[in-house]
Amino acid sequence: MFGNSFKLFTWRGVEIFMDLTALFIIVFYVATLGGVSRNDGLLIGVAVGVLIIASILIHELAHAAVGMLLGAKVDKIMLSVIGGVCVFGSKRTSNWRDLLISLAGPASNFALWFIFNLSFEQTRNQSLQTTAWIYICYYVSQANLLLAIFNLLPGFPLDGGQALRALVLLVTRRELWAAWAVALGGLGVGGFFAFIVINDLQSGQPSVLNVILLGMLGYWIVSASLGQLQSTKQFTGQAMRFKRAPAAPVATSQKQESISEGIPAGALANRGFDSTFDPRTTIIEFLARTSTISDGVMIPVLRDGFFAGMLTRSIARKVSRDQQQYTYLEKIMMPRRDFQAVYEDDDLSMARLLLRAGRGKPVLVLDRGGVFIGSISAAELEKVRR
């Protein structure tokens, strides 16, 4: 999908594309509503289809507008028969920002539902006969209400699932807990859809379209919800846990040890990263935003505040120019399993040991919830010794 798309327009630097499959929405409503009015059936079907596509666009624009207001960069918006996608080039690492961005889309659909439902009620009360506009307002209002409720379901990748994930992270700062919450929410949504399908099949006159649609949606949500849990486990599971200090102490001079003893690692952590990057940031975006940084500087890549890897401009520039706009940082970054970490309240002497064991690679500094707050390099430790 999105292989046969065309550009609609550009809004505040964001390119809006629509896939040709989105036109099936209009075809569907023409076929469904063509018989509601003898004279205006075609007009009603086309108008409802167009306005629902516009509603999906407004939903994605709401995500984009709130994201841009909160410091995110939006690359593009894509519309298709299955909905819309707002593609962020980068976002500030912030759970409350993610929560607001996720809720902005459904909020726009609730607003559209209110507007069209109000127009429907007023027009119906003032008109002696049912006009085309009454039909249009009714179906568009109901479609927006359905879009808002559906998107708020607590499964991935729906807005409700992403909002739930951000909320759990905001409260607990536990990435795996958030992933489990979304996985359980997705399973609940899938079970609810299965319950509806079974009841429909037992009714004796099942709607084939509803059975197929709900079955596909349920499978999609359950698969995506379990998929994000599996992905999170790969980031936080045994295979990628941070290494702790080596069992056998590395030989160091007594002078160096005494200088670093009693100093918490967090006091020396380098927190000077104005911009952090999501693993799904493209290389071309990464290079553009780090143009003032030296090629050899290690730049953190974060996933919802949790360390995912590190990258330098010199590594990114090895990718050919024609591939930079299609390749994500997660494909080329040094993954976090290659790094060692201390907590911010650990003694600095532990960071010194890990630096030596890691052959000079920066040591990560985390808070007790596992959230990345900075790193310590050999250069920072050298300043302490002086």
Q: Which of 95, 14, 104 is nearest to 66 (CA)?
A: 104
> Residue 305: which pLDDT band, with cuts at 50, 70 and 90?
low
One domain, residues 53 and 143: yes
Residue 129: per-residue pLDDT: 64
Measured between alpha carbons, how far is residue 370 from residues 173, 242, 266, 360 in Å? Answer: 8, 10, 13, 22
Range of the domain at 215: 168-241
In a domain, 12, yes or no: yes
Residue 248 has pLDDT above 50, yes or no: no
Residue 233 has pLDDT above 80, yes or no: no
Supply the CATH number for residue 314's domain.
3.10.580.10
- Domain termination site, one of 152, 176, 198: 152
Residue 244: per-residue pLDDT: 40
- Radius of gyration in angstroms for the set of CA atoms belonging to the chain, rounded to a whole number: 26
One domain, residues 105 and 125: yes
How many Cβ atoms from other residues are within 10 Å of residue 200's Cβ? 16
State the Cα torsion 351-357-363-366 to the nearest 10°: -70
User: How many angstroms separate the CA atoms of 330 and 53, rounded?
Assistant: 33
- Could you tell me what percent of the chain has a pLDDT over 90? 35
In a domain, 181, yes or no: yes
Residue 259: per-residue pLDDT: 47
One domain, residues 182 and 201: yes
In a domain, 159, yes or no: no
- Domain termination site, one of 187, 217, 241: 241
One domain, residues 237 and 248: no
Query: Which among 137-151, 194-208, 312-326, 337-351 has the top mean pLDDT?
Result: 137-151
Report which DSSP code applies to 377.
-
Measured between alpha carbons, how far is residue 180 from residues 3, 152, 158, 190, 223 in Å? Answer: 34, 17, 15, 15, 13
One domain, residues 47 and 105: yes
Residue 52: per-residue pLDDT: 96
One domain, residues 220 and 255: no
How many Cβ atoms from other residues are within 10 Å of residue 368's Cβ? 9
Report the pLDDT averaged over residues 283-302: 84
In a domain, 160, yes or no: no
One domain, residues 236 and 314: no
Mean pLDDT check: name the lowest of 40-49, 256-265, 302-311. 256-265
Q: Number of structural domains, the chain?
A: 3
> Residue 221: which pLDDT band, with cuts at 50, 70 and 90?
very high
User: How many angstroms separate the CA atoms of 82 and 127, rounded?
Assistant: 35
pLDDT digits (tens, 9 = 90+) for 46-81: 999 999 999 999 999 999 999 999 988 888 899 998
How many Cβ atoms from other residues are within 10 Å of residue 9's Cβ? 8
Residue 238: per-residue pLDDT: 35
Does pTM surpass 0.85?
no
Q: Chain-wide mean pLDDT for the chain? A: 82
Provide the residue type at 170 as one letter.
L
User: How many angstroms separate the CA atoms of 232 and 305, rounded?
Assistant: 13
- Domain termination site, one of 188, 220, 241: 241
One domain, residues 274 and 346: yes
One domain, residues 254 and 237: no
Residue 381 has pLDDT above 80, yes or no: no
Contact 269, 376 (CB under 8 A): yes
In a domain, 112, yes or no: yes
Helix (H, G, I), strand (E, B) or coil at 306: strand
User: How many angstroms separate the CA atoms of 213 and 151, rounded?
Assistant: 15
One domain, residues 274 and 127: no
- Could you tell me what percent of the chain has a pLDDT over 70? 84
Q: Which two tokens stand for residue 347?
A: 């003694």
Residue 372: per-residue pLDDT: 78
Residue 339: per-residue pLDDT: 83
Query: Which among 100-109, 250-259, 306-315 has the top mean pLDDT?
Result: 100-109
Helix (H, G, I), strand (E, B) or coil at 261: coil
User: How many angstroms separate the CA atoms of 2 and 80, rounded?
Assistant: 7
Q: What length is written for the chain?
A: 386
How many Cβ atoms from other residues are within 10 Å of residue 219's Cβ? 13
